[in-house]
Structure 1
Amino acid sequence: MTGIEELLRPELRGRSPYGAPQLDVEVQLNTNESSYPVPDEVVAAVLAELERDLGGLNRYPDREFAELRSALGTYLAKQSGIHPREESIWAGNGSNEVLQHLVLAFGGSGRTALGFTPAYSMHPILTETLGMRWVDGQRDATTFDLAVDSAVTQAKGVDPHLVFLCSPNNPTGSALPFDVIEAMLVAAPRALVVVDEAYAEFARPGTRSALELVADHPRLVVTRTMSKAFTLAGGRLGYLVADPAVVDALRLVRLPYHLSTPTQTIARVALEHADALLGTVEAIKTQRDRLVGELSAMGLAPVPSDANFVLFGGLADAASTFQGLLDRGVLVRDVGIPHHLRVTAGTPEETSRFLTAMAELVPTHAARKETP
């Protein structure tokens, strides 16, 4: 009898699924979720709306999620000063599904996607599992920056059909120089250029959003999520802004009625209470900056961050430090970059727990510095 492994598509054999450890520890700082619960007033408002909806679950949800698109447009106009048309907005069950829709519509066999490592690991996973060729572009090996000249040279050499940019970048946390985005639109003339802005709300003052360019560039797509700043990781709502022709193409590949009525309601009510939900963003940014400062003082090498997490290097062995933190009740993320770990900015108490644990570990876990 033929084994399941032999029935599996050849390109999937031997692969590991995406997933961060979900462990029952006191301090969970590994998946960039918010450590703050949804405010009671928002919970009450969502429950009231859901109670109204439940009796109508015998009917399919609004396939075009019109009210949600309107609410997303209103939020973006207030948050960024940019007023996207409703026909330019698309949503899915988390930004991963939105990204999947893009690859389904604009990728496929015989086409190539380009990204710049280290970046969000789902970009190559989505493209390769859906039949595209992935090209692993590179950033500066020390700073993890992506310079315009380097990005342009790499793009011209690949001539991709899809380009993935991440700003702020995950896992490094740094925002992308704005001219890289503009240059990529020229250097990759047949590509859909996707800028993943999942952490945009945490960016430091003065950081520009690619939303500024969408109206003038029909091949530019900006994706965002409500999982991070909106404290709604469990709600699973991501969205994008793009030319209406791109949105029309996504209708060809989405599953029927892909956004459930409860999902649409939760997201819409959350957007109506955006000020309450985003009220913790500044507190999280304070802890993020605290992490950068105190890790630097320990002699480690954190990367200045525009996200809600900090990547830090200077470790002799990342896996050993990861385990040492876990033994002390603190879960962080090993993202596979040698000598580095990533930690989410949590509450002040959680940040203190992490920093106390790191202070205990540094004497034996920091990489030895070579003397001149």
Structure 2
Amino acid sequence: MSGLQDLLREDLRGHEPYGAPQLDVPVALNTNESSYEVPRTVVDAIVRRVGEVAPTLNRYPDREFAAVREALAGYVTSTTGCAVDADQIWAANGSNEVLQHLVQAFGGAERTALGFTPSYSMHPLISRGMGMTWIDGMRSCDPAVFDVSAQLAASQAREVDPHVVFLCSPNNPTGTALALDVVEAVYEAAPHAIIVVDEAYAEFARPGTPSALTLLPGRERLVVTRTMSKAFAFAGVRLGYLAADAELTSLLRLVRLPYHLSAVTQAVTCAAFEHTGDMLAMVEAIKGSRDALVAGLDALGLTPVPSDANFVLVGGFPDERATWQALLERGVLVRDVGIPHHLRITAGTPEETQAVLTALREVISTPARKDSR
């Protein structure tokens, strides 16, 4: 072990950082980005807004990012029907930083975080990074089932008595949405915990899928996190946010870095909300690609998991790693998420959907190469 390894915190030794391959391929469907470029109307608004703030970049930005919070509150209220005030909104550089703020404020050393895996890999990474003990909860007693029941989740929450609980709806990497009774049951079963419902993919949910935003009134320990990276095609902007009780959002000021949202980030974010309709039009196109992808995978004899996200987890591969490599050799990059016999595929453009289905058809029909070792 090197000298630096000796100096590293003991609880971080041996762990792997977050990472997904960033390869130059014709069809990149591995990180759940939008395949659609930002609309020209929004680009023009961004240029105008950034031009307005550029001369004042010698000054610090609005520490309270008031315009961003007003815009986000208006967006959440108008699109979900859940009335949210600006003082209930918090934002940061991607939803990962939002999650980090929550763990900094309510987690830390000698505290415990609970999540139900497989789920978003950053939840344990952020928790461990803040010195928390991470507990892998079960989604089901059957490893082939990716849903989590209210009874099973609540029983684990009572047993662990955590300080932070992570729920994910739609869940990444499975794409499955949570029933609200799961959130309600966990909230009651973990009375000392902040309950975080990660809704990064909420805009892609099928009609009738409920949002935990409806549960916020009267639940001061409940937090719903979201992002502009997916539905708004803003992965490069890094703007995530949460909605919660106003007192909870106020407490996050204790851990945020000074002026954490740059003036440029705030300007770009506000520009997007001038054209919400243009941005969300891409969501419907992506949902169409997702549904076409599910149908195509099913026709190939594979087993796609019903998805409320902008990706599909698909099973049925005898060797998922070999399939991943074979697809890459055909110019298609998907995600190996570590679930045996499964791969995760982002829903892209119709052309990308056809490309991945064509590549999969070739891979499935090609006899596996024998190991020469």
Residue pairs, 1:130-149, within 5 angstroms: 130-140=130-140, 141-149=143-151
Inter-CA distance 334–365: structure 2 relative to 1 (3 Å threshold) = farther
Are the counterparts in 2 of residues 223 and 241 from structure 1 also a CA contact under 8 Å?
yes
Q: 1:129 — aligned with what?
A: 129
Q: Structure 2 CA distance, aligned partners of 1:46 and 1:280?
A: 18
Inter-CA distance 365–196: structure 2 relative to 1 (3 Å threshold) = farther
Q: 1:316 aligns with which of 315, 318, 326?
A: 318
What is the Cα deviation at residue 143 of structure 1? 2.1
Say if 2:52 is the partner of 1:44: no
Residue pairs, 1:178-193, within 5 angstroms: 178-193=180-195
Q: Is the partner of 1:33 in helix, strand or coil?
A: coil
Say if 2:156 is the partner of 1:154: yes
Q: Which residue identity does 1:66 align to in structure 2?
A: A
Q: Is the partner of 1:169 in helix, strand or coil?
A: coil
What is the Cα deviation at residue 364 of structure 1? 4.8
Q: Structure 1 CA distance, aligned partners of 2:75 and 2:8?
A: 43
Residue pairs, 1:235-250, within 5 angstroms: 235-250=237-252
Q: Which residue identity does 2:15 align to in structure 1?
A: R
Q: Deviations over 1:55-77 (max 9, x none)?
A: 00010000000011000011111
Q: 2:295 — aligned with what?
A: 293
Q: 1:29 — aligned with what?
A: 29
Q: 1:203 — aligned with what?
A: 205
Q: Structure 2 CA distance, aligned partners of 1:88 and 1:206?
A: 25
What is the Cα deviation at residue 159 of structure 1? 0.7
Q: 1:8 — aligned with what?
A: 8
Q: Deviations over 1:15-47 (max 9, x none)?
A: 221011000000000000000000111101110
What is the Cα deviation at residue 2 of structure 1? 7.3
What is the Cα deviation at residue 352 of structure 1? 0.4
| Structure 2 gaps, min length 5 | 369-373
| Structure 1 gaps, min length 5 | 367-372
Are the counterparts in 2 of residues 27 and 350 from structure 1 also a CA contact under 8 Å?
yes
Q: Which runs of 4+ in 1 moved over 3 A?
A: 363-366
Q: Deviations over 1:280-337 (max 9, x none)?
A: 1111111111111111111111100000000001101111000000000000000011
What is the Cα deviation at residue 9 of structure 1? 1.1
Q: 1:101 — aligned with what?
A: 101
Q: Structure 2 CA distance, aligned partners of 1:174 and 1:14?
A: 31
Q: Structure 2 CA distance, aligned partners of 1:69 and 1:157?
A: 37
Q: Deviations over 1:158-208 (max 9, x none)?
A: 111100000000000011111101111111111100000000000000011
Q: Structure 2 CA distance, aligned partners of 1:88 and 1:347?
A: 35
Q: 1:337 — aligned with what?
A: 339
What is the TM-score normalised by the length of structure 2? 0.96
Q: 1:174 aligns with which of 173, 176, 180?
A: 176
Q: Structure 2 CA distance, aligned partners of 1:99 and 1:317?
A: 34
Q: Is the partner of 1:90 in helix, strand or coil?
A: strand
Say if 2:51 is the partner of 1:58: no
What is the root-mean-square deviation of aligned Cα atoms in Å? 1.2
Are the counterparts in 2 of residues 317 and 365 from structure 1 also a CA contact under 8 Å?
no
What is the TM-score normalised by the length of structure 1? 0.97
Q: Structure 2 CA distance, aligned partners of 1:363 and 1:275?
A: 42
Are the counterparts in 2 of residues 148 and 183 from structure 1 also a CA contact under 8 Å?
yes
Q: Structure 1 CA distance, aligned partners of 2:7 and 2:311?
A: 40
Q: Structure 1 CA distance, aligned partners of 2:298 and 2:82?
A: 37
Inter-CA distance 73–363: structure 2 relative to 1 (3 Å threshold) = same
Q: Structure 2 CA distance, aligned partners of 1:166 and 1:133?
A: 19
Q: Which residue identity does 1:329 align to in structure 2?
A: G
